């Protein structure tokens, strides 16, 4: 999962450029009429006195040319520049405010306020304006026709923070875009990000190219523009910044963009671009920023890079670039931000990257890179490294990370790195996240040299081959939030209450090591533990149920594969946010309470000695496994109506009576759950998919095959009733398609025709299958 906060960072430098305008102008003696107009303006504006830095200081006892936010013309005392940005102005701005009689204004900046009103037509009065900045000022609705009277404008900024598909607050319908810009022929900067322009490629491109010959900055991201980019744009030879991200251009990137001799920034993320990206654009000598992220149909590959290039920021993630990264990338001495995540790059990560001394942010995750990791020790300003989910191998020398004083984030997970964990990594002072899971690191976990000043909040070393005991310094990492050490070969004993020293801990994973964890049962001092959300203690040699009564934030609890005896404590039902409960493979005998947990989605009690009636799980359950216990009696008749139930396993118990008429017809998809280890089923309710929207998803690992099943609720179903004492007819509903039902050795069932040959179910094709005594019945034959 990856959160692309990153693009927003780019706005900051641009914003500062455009606010800096009046720093260079000089003040003089204020004219009385100008002063009274300004005071009139102040009186009509509603603003927060405590947040205001400028307006609050305006008063008649001082020269208005000295007021913050005001610049006067030196000789005449006319107010020529007014900057009320970030003044927390709320409420409207109307034509009586006095603002529109300040007719000498050349520069007006009202950005970052909350005017929450339509744009007043009075702006048309300010015909001397050269620069108008209303960015994120909170104005709404149609941009008035009168704006086209501001013919001296060189810079017009009506942009708002926006995202693809987000709401547009301003729009250009009547007048449309072409009408607005036709008289603004002096414009060199046009920023309309987030304005609903809704124009077709031919129209907006031709309007720009015929009306704005001097345009340098074109910023129209998220403007509901469609493509393609018209060839007439090639005329705008002064263009230096092109920002059109978040428009559905649905077209290839035209070659002519490589001919702009002054191009410094090309930002076309989330544009539904397709075809093959022209390599010549990478080689534009002036280009500093290239952003092509989230164009899932855009192909391309890197050319050779030359020393004379200026690239600083290269953002290509989540497109379909392929091929290798050339060694010549090391020539790009200014390169500081590289995002190539989620493409199809192959081959090694060039060792020449070690020469990128300006490197600040590197994300190469989710590609097919092979080979070893280059050193980063020369990139002194490196803050973020993610090379997870590739096929990288080899040892990582400790020297690779030496001297890095700014690193906060390292993710090397899901590769095949081996050797020992580079100890220098654990000594980097600002480091907050270390994620090395799913590799082949061996040896001992290094000690943290400087625990008291450590900022580490995530340490994920799970699924490696680490040995030895857990270093004691780990329990001094006071900022630690996630400690995941599961699935290694760690040994030794651990008193659970040692995590008391980690007051911020929310995830603890110690499952599947050779550890012996002692958790006090009963009413002990466990209430002083931090408030844990995820606790994974599978296969930790636990002999008793840990007392977790006060853990009111716990939503994931795995105590499977231990030797826990006695009953399941009744207080479990007090853990009302619990979504995942796995108590399988223990020696539990009884349930003290009804397990009435409203949020429970996955419940695994298999392989215990539980008896009596099964607990009736809450109606939002998706997975229940009661198999291999001593449950008897009848199963709840309404089991088939639980709306989200995907997988139900009642096998190997003493259930009797008729099978209830299970509504399998509402369950789609099919899957045999061969591997019962729920450790492999991860329920991620908030999964970031295309970078912006969250969706339900689940990852299921079956026989080494990892499938990500988005919207599990509609695609994944399996039921197993085998080895019980059921009798009577097989319910009709089981014959419905798209379900896998296992009835092996369910005695006395009749009504289905057998096929001799065992048929392996095919998860890809949505076929339905019923397993009966090792044979399978396909419905089209059985019915
Ligand atoms: C007027 O503003 C000046 C400068 O900001 C300040 O020193 C003075 O106290 C203010 N006077 C009143 C009456 O608020
Ligand atoms: C526009 O300027 C004229 C002349 O200064 C003035 O009379 C008129 O009130 C102004 N309009 C607005 C809306 O302020
Ligand atoms: C944008 O404008 C078009 C045409 O005026 C309109 O159909 C569309 O709903 C608008 N979209 C948004 C998000 O405002
Ligand atoms: C983008 O536009 C194309 C062509 O107009 C259309 O087929 C496609 O559905 C649009 N995609 C999105 C995400 O709006
Ligand atoms: C690292 O960042 C600092 C502060 O931003 C800057 O002064 C310095 O030049 C940078 N070092 C390199 C090698 O880019
Ligand atoms: C440990 O932290 C202290 C205080 O922050 C610092 O002075 C010292 O250099 C650090 N030692 C190491 C080995 O990083
Ligand atoms: C812990 O739970 C007990 C009841 O089991 C309660 O009396 C006590 O107040 C709780 N402590 C905290 C810190 O919530």
Q: What is the pLDDT of residue 288?
A: 97
Ligand 4 touching residue 272 (CB < 6 A): yes
Give, for ligand 4, the residue of 198, 199, 201, 248 to mutate: max count of ligand atoms closer than 8 Å to Cβ: 248
Query: 411: which strand partners?
Result: 386, 435
What pLDDT, on a 0 to 100 scale, did the predictor assign at position 464? 97
Residue 395: its pLDDT value, please?
96
Report angle CA 298, 245, 219 to the nearest 5 degrees: 140
Joined tokens for residue 161: 């923070």
Average per-residue pLDDT for the chain: 81
Cite the residue boundaries of each domain of the chain with CATH code 3.80.10.10. Answer: 429-554
- Name residues whose C-beta falls within 8 Å of residue 473's C-beta, 6 or more positions apart in sequence: 447, 448, 449, 451
482-484 and 556-558 beta bridge pairing:
unpaired
Of the two residues 729 and 500, the one the predictor is more confident about is: 500
Q: What is the pLDDT of residues 41-87, one digit of tens each?
A: 999 999 988 999 999 999 888 888 889 999 998 888 899 999 999 99
Our mutation pick for probing the ligand 6 site, out of 404, 450, 454, counting the most ligand atoms within 8 A of Cβ, is 450
pLDDT digits (tens, 9 = 90+) for 88-133: 998 888 888 889 999 999 999 999 999 989 999 899 999 999 999 9
The DSSP letter of residue 658 is P
pLDDT at residue 524, as a whole number: 56
Local structure of 7: helix, strand or coil:
helix
DSSP H helices in 117-239? 177-181, 201-211
Nearest CA to ligand 5 atom 5: 381
- Report the nearest-CA residue for atom 6 of ligand 4: 250
| Mean pLDDT to the nearest integer, 451-455 | 91
Ligand closest to 454 (CA) is 6
| 308 CB burial (10 A radius; 0-12, 13-18, 19+) | exposed
CB neighbourhood size of 13 (10 A)? 8
What is the predicted pLDDT for the residue at 669? 28
pLDDT in tens, 386-412: 999 999 999 999 999 988 999 999 999
How many angstroms from the chain centroid is the CA of residue 441? Answer: 27
C-alpha 438/C-alpha 465 separation (Å) is 9
What pLDDT was estimated at residue 594?
80
Q: Using H for helix, E for strand and C for coil, what is the string for 407-455?
A: CCEEECCCCEEECECCHHHHHCCCCCEEECCCCCCECECCCCCCHHHCC
From the CB of 95, is ligand 3 less than 6 Å away?
no
Residue 35 three-state SS: helix
Tell whether ligand 5 has an atom less than 6 A from the beta carbon of residue 357: yes
Mean pLDDT of 613-628: 79
Compute the distance from residue 174 Cα to the ligand 3 centre, in Å. Answer: 12
CATH class of 577-777: alpha beta
Give residue 521's pLDDT band: very low, low, confident or very high (50, 70, 90).
low
Cβ–Cβ < 8 Å for 591, 569: no
In the numeric block, which tokens belong to residue 201? 């490629």
Q: In angstroms, rounded to a whole number, what is the distance separating the alpha carbons of residues 599 and 620?
A: 7
Q: What is the pLDDT of residue 205?
A: 95
pLDDT of res. 430: 93
Instruction: Tell me the C-alpha to C-alpha distance, in Å, between residue 105 and each of 186, 440, 498, 571, 650.
Output: 17, 67, 67, 71, 79
Number of H helices, E strands in the chain: 8, 54
In ligand 1, the atom with minimum distance to the C-alpha of 61 is 1
What pLDDT score was predicted for residue 227?
86
Tell me how far the alpha carbon of residue 498 lies from the centroid of ligand 6, in angstroms: 24
Q: Is the pLDDT at 670 greater than 50, yes or no? A: no
Q: How far does the chain reach from its first CA to its final CA, in angstroms?
A: 44
**pLDDT > 90 in the chain, percent:** 59
Q: b/e for 37-64, b at 16 or more Cβ within 10 A?
A: bbbebbeebebeeeebebbbebeeeeeb
List CB contacts of 714: < 8 A, sequence separation 6 or more: 668, 669
**Residue 361 Cα to chain centre, angstroms:** 17
- Expressed in angstroms and rounded, the spacing between residue 143 Cα and the centre of ligand 3 is 14
SS3 content of the chain, % helix, strand, coil (to 5): 20, 25, 55
Res 348 pLDDT > 60: yes
429-554: what CATH class?
A: alpha beta
Give the ligand with the smallest distance to the CA of 272. 4
Q: Is the CB of 549 under 6 A from ligand 7?
A: yes
pLDDT at 682: 32
Ligand 5 centroid distance, CA of 358 (Å): 7
Q: Residue 20, class by beta-carbon neighbours within 10 Å (0-12 exposed, 13-18 middle, 19+ buried)?
A: exposed
State the Cα–Cα distance between residues 617 and 591, nearest whole angstrom. 13
User: Is residue 403 in contact with ligand 6, taking CB distance under 6 Å?
Assistant: no
Residue 707 has pLDDT above 50, yes or no: no
DSSP 299-330: EE------TT----EEE-TTEEEEEPPPGGGG
- Write out the two tokens for 463: 């699924």
Residue whose CA is at the smallest distance from ligand 6 atom 8: 450
Lookup: tokens for 50 = 């405590």
Asked if the peptide bond before residue 39 counts as cis, ω within 30 degrees of 0, the response is no
- Cα(633)–Cα(117) distance, integer angstroms: 68
Lowest mean pLDDT among 167-171, 233-237, 437-441: 167-171
What integer is the mean pLDDT of 136-161? 93
Ligand 1 in reach of 68 Cβ (< 6 A): no
Using CA positions, which residue lies closest to atom 11 of ligand 3?
A: 196
**Residue 614's pLDDT is what?**
80
Q: How confident is the model at residue 539 (pLDDT cuts 50, 70, 90)?
A: very high
679 band by pLDDT with thresholds 50, 70 and 90: very low
Least confident of 182-191, 288-297, 402-411, 642-651: 642-651
DSSP, collapsed to helix, strand or coil, labels residue 44 as helix
In terms of DSSP bridges, do strands 265-267 and 217-219 run parallel, antiparallel, or are they unpaired? Answer: unpaired
Q: Which of 392, 395, 372, 376 is nearest to 384 (CA)?
A: 376
**Residue to mutate (ligand 6; options 398, 401, 453; most atoms within 8 A of CB):** 453
Who has greater pLDDT, 710 or 13? Answer: 13
**Mean pLDDT in residue range 133-141:** 93
Taking the centre of ligand 5 as the mean of its atom positions, its distance from the CA of residue 359, in whole angstroms, is 10
Q: Which atom of ligand 1 is nearest to the CA of 68?
A: 5
User: Which residue has tokens 């520049």?
Assistant: 81
Nearest-angstrom CA–CA distance, 320 and 295: 8
Please give the share of the chain, as a percent, with pLDDT higher than 70.
78
- What is residue 77's predicted lDDT score, i.e. its pLDDT? 84
Q: What is the pLDDT of residue 764?
A: 25
Q: How far apart are CA 183 and CA 120, in angstroms?
A: 19
Q: How far apart are CA 649 and CA 740, in angstroms?
A: 12
User: Which pLDDT does position 778 carry in this prediction?
Assistant: 35
Question: How many C-beta neighbours within 10 Å does residue 477 have?
Answer: 21
Q: In whole angstroms, what is the distance from residue 563 CA to residue 557 CA?
A: 16
Would the pLDDT of 763 be above 60?
A: no
Ligand nearest to the CA of 146: 2
Res. 659 pLDDT band, cuts 50 70 90: low
Confidence of residue 729 (pLDDT cuts 50, 70, 90): low
**How far is ligand 2, taken at its centre, from the CA of residue 103, in Å?**
8
Give the residue from 386, 457, 482 showing the smallest Cα distance to 3.
386
Strands 775-777 and 769-772, how do they pair? antiparallel
Give the C-alpha separation, 225 to 235, whole Å.
Answer: 20
Q: Tokens for 15, please give them.
A: 């914003």
Supply 370's token pair.
């092979």
Of 202-206, 375-379, 673-677, the one with minimum mean pLDDT is 673-677
Q: Is 224 in the pocket of ligand 3 (CB under 6 A)?
A: yes
The pLDDT of residue 225 is above 90? yes
Distance 71 CA to ligand 2 centre (A): 21
């Amino acid at each position: 999962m990856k959160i692309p906060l990153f693009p927003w960072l780019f706005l900051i430098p641009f914003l500062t450029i455009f606010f800096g305008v009046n720093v260079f102008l000089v003040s003089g003696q204020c004219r009385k009429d100008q002063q009274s107009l300004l005071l009139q303006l102040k009186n009509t504006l509603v603003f927060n006195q405590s947040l205001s830095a400028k307006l609050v200081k305006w008063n008649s006892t001082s020269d208005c040319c000295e007021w913050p936010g005001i610049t006067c013309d030196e000789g005449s005392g006319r107010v020529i520049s007014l900057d009320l940005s970030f003044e927390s102005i709320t409420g409207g701005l109307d034509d009586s405010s006095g603002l529109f009689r300040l007719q000498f204004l050349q520069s007006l900046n009202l950005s970052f306020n909350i005017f929450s009103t339509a744009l007043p037509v009075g702006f048309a009065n300010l015909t001397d304006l050269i620069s108008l900045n209303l960015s994120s000022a909170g104005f709404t609705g149609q941009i008035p026709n009168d704006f086209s009277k501001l013919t001296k404008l060189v810079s017009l900024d009506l942009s708002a923070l926006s995202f693809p598909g987000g709401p547009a607050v301003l729009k250009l319908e009547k007048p449309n875009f072409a009408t607005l810009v036709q008289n603004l022929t002096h414009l060199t900067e046009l920023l309309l990000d987030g304005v609903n322009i809704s124009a077709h490629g031919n129209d907006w491109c031709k309007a720009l190219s015929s009306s704005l010959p001097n345009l340098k900055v074109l910023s129209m991201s998220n403007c509901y523009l469609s493509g393609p980019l018209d060839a007439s744009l090639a005329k705008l030879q002064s263009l230096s910044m092109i920002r059109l991200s978040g428009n559905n251009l649905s077209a290839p990137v035209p070659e002519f963009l490589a001919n702009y001799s002054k191009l410094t920034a090309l930002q076309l993320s989330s544009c539904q671009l397709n075809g093959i990206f022209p390599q010549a654009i990478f080689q534009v000598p002036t280009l500093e920023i290239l952003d092509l992220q989230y164009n899932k149909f855009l192909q391309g590959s890197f050319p050779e890079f030359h020393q004379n290039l200026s690239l600083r920021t290269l953002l290509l993630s989540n497109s379909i670039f392929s091929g290798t990264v050339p060694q010549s990338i090391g020539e790009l001495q200014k390169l500081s931000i590289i995002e190539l995540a989620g493409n199809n790059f192959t081959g090694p990560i060039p060792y020449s990257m070690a020469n990128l001394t300006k490197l600040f942010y590197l994300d190469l995750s989710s590609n097919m890179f092979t080979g070893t990791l280059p050193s980063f020790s020369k990139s002194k300003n490196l803050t973020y490294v993610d090379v997870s989910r590739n096929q990288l191998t080899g040892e990582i020398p400790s020297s690779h990370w030496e001297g890095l004083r700014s690193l906060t984030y390292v993710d090397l997970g899901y590769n095949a790195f081996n050797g020992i964990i580079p100890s220098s990594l654990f000594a980097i002072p600002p480091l907050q996240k270390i994620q090395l899971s799913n590799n082949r690191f061996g040896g001992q976990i290094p000690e943290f040299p400087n625990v008291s000043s450590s900022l580490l909040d995530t340490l994920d070393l799970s699924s490696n081959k680490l040995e030895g005991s857990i270093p004691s310094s780990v329990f001094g990492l006071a900022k630690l939030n996630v400690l995941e050490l599961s699935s290694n070969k760690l040994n030794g004993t651990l008193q659970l209450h040692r995590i008391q020293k980690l007051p911020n801990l929310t995830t603890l994973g110690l499952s599947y090591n050779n550890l012996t964890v002692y958790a006090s049962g009963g009413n002990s001092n466990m209430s002083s533990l931090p408030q844990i959300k995820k606790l994974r203690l599978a296969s930790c040699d636990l002999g008793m149920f840990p007392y977790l009564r006060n853990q009111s934030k716990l939503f994931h609890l795995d105590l499977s594969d231990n030797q826990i005896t006695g009953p399941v404590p009744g207080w479990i039902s007090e853990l009302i946010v619990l979504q995942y409960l796995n108590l399988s493979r223990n020696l539990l005998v009884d349930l003290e309470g009804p397990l009435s947990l409203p949020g429970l989605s996955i419940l695994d009690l298999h392989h215990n000695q539980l008896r009596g009636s099964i607990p009736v799980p809450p109606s939002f359950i998706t997975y229940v496994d009661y198999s291999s216990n001593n449950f008897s009696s009848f199963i709840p008749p309404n089991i088939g109506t639980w709306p989200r139930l995907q997988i139900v396993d009642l096998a190997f118990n003493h259930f009797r009576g008729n099978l209830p008429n299970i509504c399998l017809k509402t369950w789609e998809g099919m899957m045999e759950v061969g591997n019962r280890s729920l450790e492999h089923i991860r329920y991620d309710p908030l999964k970031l998919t295309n970078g912006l929207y969250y969706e339900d998803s689940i990852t299921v690992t079956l026989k080494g095959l990892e499938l990500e099943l988005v919207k599990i609720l509609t695609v994944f179903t399996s039921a197993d009733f085998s080895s019980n004492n059921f009798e009577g007819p097989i319910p009709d509903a089981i014959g419905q398609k798209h379900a896998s039902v296992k009835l092996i050795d369910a005695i006395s069932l009749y009504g289905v025709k057998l096929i001799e040959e065992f048929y392996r179910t095919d998860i890809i094709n949505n076929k339905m299958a019923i397993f009966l005594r090792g044979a399978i019945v396909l419905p089209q034959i059985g019915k």
